Amino acid sequence: MNSKIKTVLGPLVLVALLTISRYLFPYKMTFITEIAIYALFVMGNNILYGYLGMVSFGQPFYLSIGAWTSAIFLAYLGHNPIAALLLGVVAGVIVGLVLGPSFIRLRGDYFALINAALCAIGVFVFEKLLMGVTRGEDGLWFRTEMSRVRLLDIRLPQNFFFFVMIIFFIVLALYSHMNNSVLGSSFKAMKVNERKMRFLGFDTFRIRWIGFILASALSSLSGSLYALNFGFVNPSLGENHRAADVLVATLLGGSGTVYGPFFGSLAFLGIKDLVSRWITRWELVVGIITLIVMFRFSKGIWGGIHSLSGRILKRNGKPTVQDGRRQI
Amino acid sequence: MNQDRKNSLLEVSELEVSYKKLKVLFGVSVDVKKGENVVLVGRNGAGKTTLFRTIAGFINKGKGSIFFKGKAIDGFEAHEVAQLGLKYIPQDKQVFSDLNVRENLELGSYATKDYDWDSVLVYFPKLKTLLDRKAGNLSGGERQMLLITMAMLGHPELLLMDEPTEGLAPQLVDELKDAFKEISKRTTLFIIEQNLPLTSEVADRVYSMKEGKVVAETKDSAEIKEMVFEKYL
Amino acid sequence: MNLWITAFVYGLSMSGVLFLVSVGISIGFGLMRIVNMEQMVYYTFGAYMAYTIVTATGSFFLGIVAAITVAAALGVIVETQLLRRVYEREMMFTMVVTFSVFLIGIGIIQYIWGLDPKPIASPMETMIQVARVKVPLYRLLIFGAAILIYAGIQLLLNRTIMGKAIRAGIENPNNVKGLGINIYKIFTIMFVIASGIAGLGGALYAPLIMVGPYMGWDMLLFAFITVILGGLGSIKGTMVSALILGQVMALGGTLWAPLAFIAPFMVMFLVILVKPTGLFGVRGVAFGFQS
């Protein structure tokens, strides 16, 4: 009973804080909405990078799958945004199911590269090959196609905000639950010593596959929400450049934690918002931030808060011994 | 005491080393005097290789100090240590398999600017017949011979050998033993060995390590035999 | 038929450029066990330097010299300041770090030269006769340059003592150190050569494409495909696969335009999934699959 409440409490508090912020800063409502949507994307990457230790340079592809699925559905096939959302997630799951077995058996750098390749191909496909459907570079407009949903007309930004908050809460609670469950522990254990996990009888292939599917699903969910938010999708959503963004956000927030992705999203979008007023060369900033985080802040924001509070509360000073590294 | 210091080639004090967060050496102290062959024995996992690799500069130490020829070499890079005259021959008998024997030796000469191959090939003359063979095609014993010969270029003063006779047939072990006796006329040897007969014949002094610590040391030949047997079982 | 001959020549120049930009990645992985995501920075800078010098002085030759010099200088800076610190870390760490350098490089280029693509005039318009078709001599020269560089590298690796030290280092860097050879100095030298060559590739290719800040992106992926197909750490492999891929792109593109872009990726997918060690994967460098 206790742990169930704990699982739900954190997300509840976070969502409550976000809702309060929305009322305190009404002009920032769209920004807060975007933070939540992006956080979902980061949560997906976090499963790959933070929990499983796999770097992917192609996460925008999975985001764009969700976005395009929803967009094409609404533009040509139907009008219900909820259906579009569900379809987007389903598409993500399917992609994860299909690509998973081939991708996950690759070693780190190959996994990163094949995802990068996938991303490039994705952009090409959506921008050039399927131009008839997707309208290529111009993108697909479908805002006018969305119909009113019975309980909540999410076409209105205020209502959409609530909609996103509800989804964010549910996903975050599930995420937290996963973190504390056997699955979550399996992920983390695999990152540390996969061979031992196999010896213990765990099907590490299946575990990794599940992680891959979850990441893909979360990314497409985020993509669909992006689509619904703007009423418009274009191929730049899935561009290779964006691959670095989500990695930075994951690192900034604290990889491998439940709330890290949220803080990462907040920090990243916050910095972007601030900086882009003065600097349009976004790549430069992302690159520099990544370097700083990789070398100095490997725990990220949430990770730092976590261990700081741990030290204050528990006074557990582990004697640190110097590393014996330096073996090429 | 002072006299000892002068002859002391290698002085290791209170050395502590860890791999990531796992401590493997807990305050190890050994010393090797010039001209005195020292053997290090101990079970697998006792930390012998770690000790050698730290001395040679492949592993960063935690606490403690390492002095070679009176000079502190803690924190030195492996190639710097080698240039000072301390060479480490690893356990895995790895030569540069893509190159032939001659080219392997050329690399040794390139490093030390010592092109007098005759004086090093005298220990293992067999190598003279193998100069054009690709090093990857050598047998284990031949590789060990090549490694030692390469290391001897440049007249190192101290040779750290990590289980040189491991996996070799008894006849080869004898060959190596004789070679060691010749080599030690010019170079001091510090050897990790599991081979008991060789140890008692070659060693002037023996250290025994267990679980990251030095647990015994002796010069007496009878004691060596006894201690080595005992510490082993 | 004429169409195919032209395409073949285009493929040769593509192969040339692919080889030049991929050599650094191949050696970087084989020798230093790092995945060099920032290699394209040298390529792009090379192209931009060529543009700047050609616009200023009109001499393409000077442009090439400037490109190689600047690229090599950048290589030294990156290697000594950044890469030295990450040699002992795991591969993924270096991958993300070098990727960041790549991003920073793009940012700097945007800052200095702006976002618009810059055209460079081709240094020669001469066409020569091959069979019954006239093809641009320049493209053949690019290929020639790549072959020369390839021969040069092979000579270096096989005939000079430094080259042998490099080959030894690819196999077992620790033993090289143990002999007393400063392997870090060798890394730096190799790195300078590799980045200089990438810069040359950029300068040579620049007249054939528009020079833009993002020209490195696509080339980065193609370069990795080249190296993966050829086998990381094998120079011969890089050359052979550059030849194959160049033709795949040119001939495939003649068949159906989108193939020029997609075909290499399909090749990469196939290689990764079927034979990850590539055509000439170097012994001791097992990769592809999880342990």
Contacts of B96 in chain C (CB under 8 A): 167-168, 171-172, 175
Q: Is residue C95 one of the residues assigned to a domain?
A: yes
Which phi and psi (to 5°) does residue A121 adopt? -65, -40
Find which of C89, C90, C179 to mutate to test the B interface (most B CBs within 10 Å of its CB): C179
Q: Is residue C286 one of the residues assigned to a domain?
A: no
Interval A255-274: pLDDT, tens: 888 888 999 999 889 888 88
* Structural domain total, chain C: 1
Q: Does A321 touch chain B (CB under 8 A)?
A: yes
Task: Determine contact, residues B66/B15, Cβ cutoff 8 Å.
Answer: yes
Nearest CB to A327 within list B21, B24, B58: B58
Among candidate residues B128, B126, B149, B139, the one with its CA nearest the CA of residue B97: B139
What distance in Å separates residue B153's CA from the closest CA in chain C? Answer: 9
Interval A175-224: pLDDT, tens: 988 888 888 888 888 887 888 888 888 888 889 999 999 999 999 999 99
What distance in Å separates residue C108's CA from the closest CA in chain A? Answer: 7
Q: Find the mean pLDDT for residues A14-37.
A: 87
| Alpha carbon C101 to chain centroid, angstroms | 17
**Share of residues in chain B with pLDDT > 90 (%):** 25
Give the orientation angle of helix C39-57 with respect to helix C215-230, to 10 degrees: 130
Q: Is the pLDDT of residue A325 over 50?
A: no
DSSP letter at A145 equals G
pLDDT computed for residue A317 by the predictor = 41
Q: Is the pLDDT of residue A315 over 50?
A: no
Task: Determine contact, residues C29/C233, Cβ cutoff 8 Å.
Answer: yes
Residue B86 pairs in a beta bridge with B158
For residue A260, CA distances in Å to A173, A278, A302 come to 14, 27, 5
Gyration radius of chain A over CA positions: 20
Say whether A124 and C290 touch across the interface (CB within 8 A): no
Rounded distance between C-alpha atoms, residue B34 and residue B204, angstroms: 11
Q: Is residue C287 one of the residues assigned to a domain?
A: no
Confidence of residue C291 (pLDDT cuts 50, 70, 90): very low
Interval C184-214: pLDDT, tens: 888 888 889 999 999 999 999 998 888 888 8
State ipTM.
0.85
* Structural domain total, chain A: 1
Interval A42-80: pLDDT, tens: 999 999 988 888 889 899 999 999 999 999 888 888 888
Contacts of A121 in chain C (CB under 8 A): 262, 265
Contacts of A326 in chain B (CB under 8 A): 58-60
Confidence of residue A15 (pLDDT cuts 50, 70, 90): confident
Q: Is residue A100 one of the residues assigned to a domain?
A: yes
Q: Find the mean pLDDT for residues A138-163.
A: 79
Task: Determine contact, residues C135/C5, Cβ cutoff 8 Å.
Answer: yes
Q: Does C183 touch chain B (CB under 8 A)?
A: yes
Nearest CB to A321 within list B50, B54, B62: B62
Residue of A1 and C169 predicted with greater confidence: C169
Task: Determine contact, residues C102/C38, Cβ cutoff 8 Å.
Answer: yes
Q: Is residue A267 one of the residues assigned to a domain?
A: no
Task: Determine contact, residues C152/C144, Cβ cutoff 8 Å.
Answer: no
Task: Determine contact, residues B14/B60, Cβ cutoff 8 Å.
Answer: no
Strand bridging mode B205-210 / B38-42: parallel
Confidence of residue A121 (pLDDT cuts 50, 70, 90): confident
Q: Does B16 touch chain A (CB under 8 A)?
A: yes
Residue B40 pairs in a beta bridge with B192, B207
Amino acid at A285: V
Q: List the domain range (segments joined by +) for residue A196.
A: 2-239
CATH number for domain B32-60+76-232, candidates 3.30.70.240, 3.40.50.300, 3.40.50.12500, 3.30.43.10:
3.40.50.300
Q: Is residue C3 one of the residues assigned to a domain?
A: no
Q: Is residue C283 one of the residues assigned to a domain?
A: no
Question: Would you state the torsion angle of the CA atoms of residues B55, B60, B63, B69, taken in this order, to the nearest 10 degrees?
Answer: 30
Q: List the domain range (segments joined by +) for residue C53.
A: 21-213
Nearest CA in chain A to B18: A324
Amino acid at A2: N
Rounded distance between C-alpha atoms, residue C129 and residue C142, angstroms: 17
pLDDT computed for residue A314 by the predictor = 54
pLDDT computed for residue A323 by the predictor = 34
Q: Is residue C14 one of the residues assigned to a domain?
A: no
Which of residues 5 through 44 in chain A touch B, CB cutoff 8 A? Answer: none
Rounded distance between C-alpha atoms, residue B166 and residue A136, angstroms: 67
pLDDT computed for residue C85 by the predictor = 79
What distance in Å separates residue A106's CA from the closest CA in chain C? Answer: 5
Say which range, A152-161, A316-325, B208-217, has the weakest mean pLDDT. A316-325
pLDDT computed for residue B150 by the predictor = 92
Residue of C129 and C40 predicted with greater confidence: C40
Q: Is residue A281 one of the residues assigned to a domain?
A: no
State the DSSP H helix or E strand holding residue B215, giving kind and residue range, or none if neither.
Answer: strand B213-218
In this prediction the pTM is: 0.80
For residue C104, CA distances in Å to A187, A290, B191, C261 come to 33, 10, 50, 26
What distance in Å separates residue A296's CA from the closest CA in chain B? Answer: 18
Q: Is the pLDDT of residue C34 over 50?
A: yes
Nearest CA in chain B to C182: B79
Interval B106-154: pLDDT, tens: 999 998 898 888 888 888 988 889 889 888 889 888 999 999 999 999 8
Residue of B6 and B108 predicted with greater confidence: B108
Say whether C104 and A291 touch across the interface (CB within 8 A): yes
Q: How many CB pairs below 8 Å do chains B and C form together?
A: 72
Say whether B77 and C182 touch across the interface (CB within 8 A): yes
Strand segments (E) across A112-217: 140-141
